[in-house]
Structure 1
């Protein structure tokens, strides 16, 4: 029987289903996933308030917390409203969708207040003191105002189409997250129409941040929000009428595409149709200027079919995340993280020879992504390479990965690419490069109906000495050179025959109508990964009950799968010491006496986005270490195609443990510990202990 689908239980303890314990189903033992995800942004915002972080990087953290909140409303809140409409049952936490939505409003209002407080009270003044000024309307001098008026007339006004609201001009469609101004007018226009309300929509072609010329402003880094310019000079659009008020607003809409894959003949065509209307799906949030009169707010709510719980009054620009452009426009290295040189793998000129000598481990972003690109480039050019197979979830614009796959097809290789068209917010880009791949002769597969293909796999088949040899890359992160410099991920390059055969079988399954397959080394969702994790947790539980060495350390992005949580509770009750490093949402409640008092949960928020998934089990002194594309989430374990791969080389397994497990458990700079009440407490060094940042330690290692 294959190892992956049937992990062996302890020799003296036959595997059996764990006993049912009614206590472990108590909803009080589970945090709500959406509220936990929302709270992650408070930890991101804390980085913006941390004086140890370079100033422009703090600005970036603020903007990240804002864009994260946007996506939260587009996806999580949007899906909750849909669940509420359908009358779906609560999850393990026992909270009905309506209850969660009400709590989201209260918690999100706290976050928004904290974001604007950070901007208005902390970052904006600190930036100004450093010579980077984002000027409010009341701070413009006469010369600046004259230049901005000319800019408005020459660059902005010609592309605006203000719309007065009357029976002939009903409320317009408002694009998701677009900048708008609602204008209160008094007087009559040239047609004798009484002024009331008008809507001014800012086209996407207009820059949201305007840099003032140094010759005008006197400062090299002076900026103004477009929203301030529109609000100040909006009267230019309504000559002969009096502007009584102008209030910026922004509406956020549900962005979850709902394609019934079983009811469509061509998912690519169906997605293209859905994408056309994505920007105008159901509204879920209204951001409005703080001073906007209540009657106008009610008018907007009525038009967007929203209630008061969807309103967020804003003390500043409604599109605060756009200030991130300042980061790129300001050339002040001393206000940013110092650059770093990624560690390069020696001998990348002959990747097949290098992999044949032994498995290669890459820990991004500390290790460069170059070896993966080089393997693909050499495979595309090598006459001995017969076929290349790869999964693509997110790859970025102008991806060199796509270019090499196209080149390989042109060079006569048999190239198969599994493209996940439903990668959220990358659907349009993925459709675009899927078309290019097909035009080049690549066989493009759109995965399996009902299951997103989230696995990260690259397979190269090469003829060597009269036989075929398989070379594999497996990863925890996307084939995206850009995020490989920003996200922490693990990649494994190997010629191990059993792993190569497993990957080959999975590709066959994805591209054909293959039956269930037996894998020797890999675990795979939705078939064996969930069960494989449960059995490993149960194995540790049995070890602890028998007095043997037992421990679990797992690092992931999020955790919410109820069976896994209950298995961890049972392990804790048996005495297994469990450390979970969970960046974002975690529904497990640690520190509950008699249930989870042996479980600690920490979250790391630092310079790089923590993204790798590493699962380590002590296994009575014979450690079992695996890396995966999957978090311990219901969707990843049960509704996606994912892979989980072992690190078989003992030296490489020790390296992963040292760098991605022990190193992170020692962090007392960027670590937050989850408390039993759901709050997070930032850790600090114990008396006499030095500061230790896991990410900084890894950077120090590559810098010598």
Structure 2
């Protein structure tokens, strides 16, 4: 039987979420962080049901089987590990347990003083034409019997978006942690005083998140998106999640009353929306120890960052190094009288973005500022619309991508006049220009004055300003330094892989090391298979989706795939080609997914500075040697622990490596 050459992308993603769940079991991880990994797992799964489940065709049943097994494991982690450990610390998390009499008075005070004002319910048996069960909102169905023995069901809306989800209550030297919905359940006697309460069960409904924007809105994307966002949470139901014990007759009545016939009906645990565990009320003493970020570069008191970049490329490696140099790049651009023009792309922006404020200041200072705002960044559309409107009002020229093409590149260009010479200064990154995510996403930001590379970046901004769907011959744009999706990115990566194949056949040094978030595109995967068959050693670090199957004899026996999950989210994309020992290194915004290769503008950029290349090679080597947080993917894409006599944790070693690099430059670590 011929081996299957490509793994299913959705099953692969579920394998990644299983790896997140594994982190919640590791006793070496502080307990608050393990609880947060449970939160991340839950949040990821919600998004899977909103985004992927509606479009899945194959392997739906297998996906559900794996999800069910994972959720069973989720419950076991809480009951067999988290709860006993908390109990030993006199922290009593009342997870699926009655509220004890010891704290019932304090709980009653919370209910009547803080919660009651937000409680309302609807009768399931009444006309529900004016009621709509919201996406991922918590509800509690209460089964009641009146004095005549007649049964009815009331649906209570749990106000977890307005109030906190978990309450910490102190009593007798211990702490009790109670769910909001349990506090409400404890006071149903007050809400329904004339009825006998037969049961109360938690539930939620997940809805499709797809947005549909017609071509007629091409000229005013904001109007189209705002209209779509208003109805996004009213999409068709993809999952109906309910608490065990809900009688079947009542379950079927709810499915009929709430029009949930097409949804996957899933029996879950006692609680839903456990992404809210990210606010679990435990102190920092139960979290990871602090790793203060180092400075990325030392700039003299009277020197500007532009002066520094003109002398030498800079590389900021967040979150190990702080974001100050990136913010300073935009801040200086906004006020430097020599700066004439600023261009940048924005994909996901911080809710209180200092970068955007700098761009608005630059426009007010009379500089030409052009910003490509990608309004179609999923779940960030509303925030991006808000900023686009504010920038436009401040005088910034706003450009939106075409409906069929996302701009995912993370780049900026500054034009600065100095002694009648126009200097180009650029920023090219692997992650979003977002100072919030820079605190926990591992990314790389290159600040450079490499003029030929930045001339190419200028050409790209010129293309983007025309809002074309695809490049055409008349655009007359070519790239020698940058790899740009829709122009040369896929072709160049194929050529770089082919060069390694040629080198190994010629007896030269060869090898490929790639780190990315997701790997799906079959043409590039096939080329990696070809490299493996030729004898090229291929080392992959893939955090999430991986459709390449490693370790298959005659196909991919020279390919290894690692997955790293730790305190920081691995996000940077790094592409290293041995080139007979000369190491060509590219970094950038592009994963090897179909969407990145065929439907987006992506930019990958070369790293030319020898010292910076050395740092990246050291960082990637540490990740390849990780034995604690890395797992190896086998031919079934299972997460296999790395067995090694000496434990190594790459993120911790990278943190210390970059602090040592700072010391060598004479910079005081922060």
Given the alignment of the two structures, is residue 272 of structure 1 paired with residue 226 of structure 2, yes or no?
A: yes
Correspondences of 1:207-246 after superposition (within 5 Å): 207-214=163-170, 217-219=171-173, 221-246=175-200
| CA apart distance, 1:582 | 0.4
What's the counterpart of residue 105 of structure 1?
Answer: 64
| Contact 2:218/2:402 (<8 A) preserved | no
Q: Out of 433, 436, 439, which is 2:393 matched to?
A: 439
Q: Out of 353, 357, 360, which is 1:406 matched to?
A: 360
Given the alignment of the two structures, is residue 693 of structure 1 paired with residue 649 of structure 2, yes or no?
A: yes
Q: Identify if the C-alpha distance between structure 1 residues 344 and 527 changes in structure 2 by more than 3 Å, giving closer, same or farther.
A: closer
| Contact 1:79/1:254 (<8 A) preserved | no
Name the SS for the 1:56 alignment partner: helix
Correspondences of 1:671-682 after superposition (within 5 Å): 671-682=630-641
Correspondences of 1:55-66 after superposition (within 5 Å): 55-66=31-42
Given the alignment of the two structures, is residue 129 of structure 1 paired with residue 88 of structure 2, yes or no?
A: yes
What's the counterpart of residue 348 of structure 2?
Answer: 394
Q: Supply the distance in 2 between the matched residues of 1:261 and 1:520 (Cα, whole angstroms).
A: 34
| Contact 1:406/1:437 (<8 A) preserved | yes
Name the SS for the 1:377 alignment partner: helix
Q: Out of 273, 276, 283, which is 1:331 matched to?
A: 283
What's the counterpart of residue 292 of structure 2?
Answer: 340
Name the SS for the 2:549 alignment partner: coil
Q: Identify if the C-alpha distance between structure 1 residues 672 and 261 changes in structure 2 by more than 3 Å, giving closer, same or farther.
A: farther
CA-to-aligned-CA distance 1:575-606 (integer Å, 9 cap, x gap): 11111110111001111111111111111111
What are structure 1's unaligned runs of at least 5 residues?
Answer: 1-22, 81-96
CA-to-aligned-CA distance 1:458-507 (integer Å, 9 cap, x gap): 11110011111110010000111121110111111000111110111111
| CA apart distance, 1:164 | 1.1
| CA apart distance, 1:104 | 1.3
| CA apart distance, 1:183 | 1.3
Given the alignment of the two structures, is residue 565 of structure 1 paired with residue 517 of structure 2, yes or no?
A: no
Q: Supply the distance in 1 between the matched residues of 2:66 and 2:96 (Cα, whole angstroms).
A: 30
| Contact 1:221/1:330 (<8 A) preserved | no
Q: Identify if the C-alpha distance between structure 1 residues 28 and 77 changes in structure 2 by more than 3 Å, giving closer, same or farther.
A: same
| Contact 1:560/1:633 (<8 A) preserved | yes
Name the SS for the 1:223 alignment partner: strand
Q: Identify if the C-alpha distance between structure 1 residues 412 and 131 changes in structure 2 by more than 3 Å, giving closer, same or farther.
A: farther
| Contact 2:124/2:257 (<8 A) preserved | no
Given the alignment of the two structures, is residue 118 of structure 1 paired with residue 118 of structure 2, yes or no?
A: no
Q: Supply the distance in 2 between the matched residues of 1:57 and 1:168 (Cα, whole angstroms).
A: 45
Q: Identify if the C-alpha distance between structure 1 residues 304 and 654 changes in structure 2 by more than 3 Å, giving closer, same or farther.
A: farther
Q: Out of 146, 151, 159, which is 2:118 matched to?
A: 159
Q: Normalising by structure 1, report the TM-score.
A: 0.89
Given the alignment of the two structures, is residue 202 of structure 1 paired with residue 197 of structure 2, yes or no?
A: no
Q: Supply the distance in 2 between the matched residues of 1:414 and 1:616 (Cα, whole angstroms).
A: 37
Name the SS for the 2:352 alignment partner: coil
| CA apart distance, 1:437 | 0.5
| Contact 2:318/2:441 (<8 A) preserved | yes
Q: Identify if the C-alpha distance between structure 1 residues 198 and 516 changes in structure 2 by more than 3 Å, giving closer, same or farther.
A: farther
Q: Supply the distance in 1 between the matched residues of 2:276 and 2:601 (Cα, whole angstroms).
A: 35
| Contact 1:78/1:254 (<8 A) preserved | yes
Q: Out of 668, 674, 677, which is 2:627 matched to?
A: 668
Q: Out of 645, 648, 651, which is 2:611 matched to?
A: 651
Q: Identify if the C-alpha distance between structure 1 residues 70 and 577 changes in structure 2 by more than 3 Å, giving closer, same or farther.
A: same
Given the alignment of the two structures, is residue 597 of structure 1 paired with residue 557 of structure 2, yes or no?
A: yes
Kindly tell me the number of residue pairs found equivalent between the two proteins: 652
What's the counterpart of residue 487 of structure 2?
Answer: 527
Q: Out of 338, 341, 359, which is 1:384 matched to?
A: 338
Name the SS for the 1:341 alignment partner: coil
| CA apart distance, 1:307 | 6.1
| CA apart distance, 1:172 | 2.9
Name the SS for the 1:280 alignment partner: coil
Q: Supply the distance in 1 between the matched residues of 2:369 and 2:341 (Cα, whole angstroms).
A: 6
Q: Out of 135, 147, 165, which is 1:176 matched to?
A: 135
CA-to-aligned-CA distance 1:385-427 (integer Å, 9 cap, x gap): 1011111111211111111111111111111111111111111
Q: Supply the distance in 1 between the matched residues of 2:232 and 2:307 (Cα, whole angstroms).
A: 48
Given the alignment of the two structures, is residue 49 of structure 1 paired with residue 20 of structure 2, yes or no?
A: no
Name the SS for the 1:404 alignment partner: helix
Q: Identify if the C-alpha distance between structure 1 residues 231 and 561 changes in structure 2 by more than 3 Å, giving closer, same or farther.
A: same
Q: Out of 107, 111, 134, which is 1:148 matched to?
A: 107
What's the counterpart of residue 471 of structure 2?
Answer: none
Q: Out of 600, 606, 611, which is 1:640 matched to?
A: 600
CA-to-aligned-CA distance 1:57-113 (integer Å, 9 cap, x gap): 111111111111111111111232xxxxxxxxxxxxxxxx1x322111111111111
| Contact 1:208/1:227 (<8 A) preserved | no
